[in-house]
Amino acid sequence: MAVNKKEIIRRTLILAYVTLLNALVIARYWHQLSHLNDNYRRLVLSTFHISGFDPLSYIVIDRWTTAYNIYRHPLLAFFMWLPSQLNAAVVWLTGRNAAPLIMGCILVACAYYTYIYMVRLLHRVVGIGKDDAWLLTTFLFSFAYVMVTISVPDHFCLSMFMLTLVLYLSGMKMKEGKLMPRWQSILLFFLTAGISLNNGIKVFLANLFVSGKRFWRPANLLLTVVLPAALIWGFARWEWYTFERPNFVARQEAKAKKHDKLIAKTYQQVADTMSTADTALIRRTALAIVVRQDSLKAAKDSRLAIHAHEGKPIANGEFSQWTDISTPRGWSLIENVLGEPIQLHSDHLLEDVLRSRPVIVHYRFAFNYIVEALVLLLFLLGVWAGRRSRFLWLALSFLGFDLLIHVVLGFGLNEAYIMSAHWLIILPIAVAYLLKNTAHSSKEWIRLSPRLLIGVLTLYLLIYNGALYIDYLY
């Protein structure tokens, strides 16, 4: 398809925008993180701080390892193998660690194509005009945690791109009345779930909406759901036993050895102070002292932000430990699910909740809540306008799944905003139906009002969030 002059200008501007954001982050940390270091992991974790985002990609690119949580990101480390080899070549040639620069290039590519595919989705799938599609996508990219997500070395930008691609491809198939080829569904699942396992469910939802009743056919369920899920889970187990278990065993052995040394030291101290030759009594006394010291240390550690802000899980199982039943849902929805992802809080700006940020931070001014209410109103009006659209319900099913795991089950609820790129992409899709329904109204104010409001909000958010983000970095 031919690209006109206006399209070229728009694409150039968005490429410049995402490149600039990444350049700002890279420049902020380049001096520290471009140096070679025998313990680069410690250097990165002690240096890089932007909200609760994990800079693990720098570590993996520096020296390939399965640094990510294997069960949550089963294939992500392997996706980063080629970038790590490129970095090794750069290190050999220049003596500089190019991990921040290489990851920045990956983020720029993912962010740029997220923008392009969102424009295509809104125009070709929803059916709004190109100008409206560009306006809404720019609106999306003015959101605080889209702005941050596309410039930090975490996996969320990659996930945002894959989810946008899944929605676009699914929407085109639904519009054309065609089924998604099984190979395509399987490939999308491995790419999406490989980056973040929970998002693999959304590929299954896309398959369900595209296929309809045919989704439940045994062959489809076996080949596009059961088999891929089993394969990626089996791979994750193999990955853990191969790469992580040796480290886990080593840590446990080191911990046990350290504890035994402490008991032996305490035993000797007790033996030197007690006037008895009863070794059993001495050992019981020493163990009681060690237990008391461990309890005091645990109580002290529990008061640290990393533990105090974790939230109480449903249970302490392998996966249930990630849930949260204690973090307040109401204020979390207002401040962390909708608020912070769209507008940064100026207090505790981009601090990490596991370090210094309170779980709930309020805006200083009522104006911020008015902006939040206007964005929510646009979304709800869009949902109502597109309530008969099967594609919109597919998009809303993505949002519903995120609300289920984050708000209902509480997974990551204490810092839900860092995952918000997963559901923020649904907002412009819903609003697009509002613009579609008003595009041909005979009343000019009905056509112009939502577009003017979106334009004003976009400009405000770009200035407000951009100023705070730059202020934080510099």
pLDDT of 267: 78
CA dist 91 → 73, 86, 95, 320 (Å): 27, 9, 5, 41
CA dist 390 → 119, 165, 199, 205 (Å): 19, 17, 20, 12
For the chain, counts of helices (H) and of strands (E): 23, 0
Beta-carbon contacts of residue 469 (< 8 Å; ≥ 6 apart): 21, 24, 144, 147, 148, 344, 350
Residue 436 main-chain phi, psi, to 5 deg = -65, -45
CB 385 within 8 A of CB 436: yes
pLDDT of 256: 85
Q: How far apart are CA 413 and CA 329, in angstroms?
A: 8
Residue 198 main-chain phi, psi, to 5 deg = -65, -30
pLDDT tens readout for residues 185-239: 999 999 999 999 999 999 999 999 999 999 999 999 999 999 999 999 999 999 9
pLDDT of 255: 86
- 309: its two tokens: 């802000």
Low-confidence ranges of the chain (pLDDT < 50): none
What's the CA dihedral at 311, 315, 318, 321 to 10 degrees?
0
Q: How far apart are CA 314 and CA 101, in angstroms?
A: 40
pLDDT of 325: 82
pLDDT tens readout for residues 106-162: 999 999 999 999 999 999 999 999 999 999 999 999 999 999 999 999 999 999 999
Containing H/E element for 45? helix 40-47
Q: Which has the closest alpha carbon to 376: 73, 89, 143?
A: 143
CA dist 400 → 15, 260, 333, 395 (Å): 31, 49, 14, 9
pLDDT of 263: 83
Beta-carbon contacts of residue 99 (< 8 Å; ≥ 6 apart): 33, 57, 58, 59, 61, 62, 87
pLDDT of 302: 65
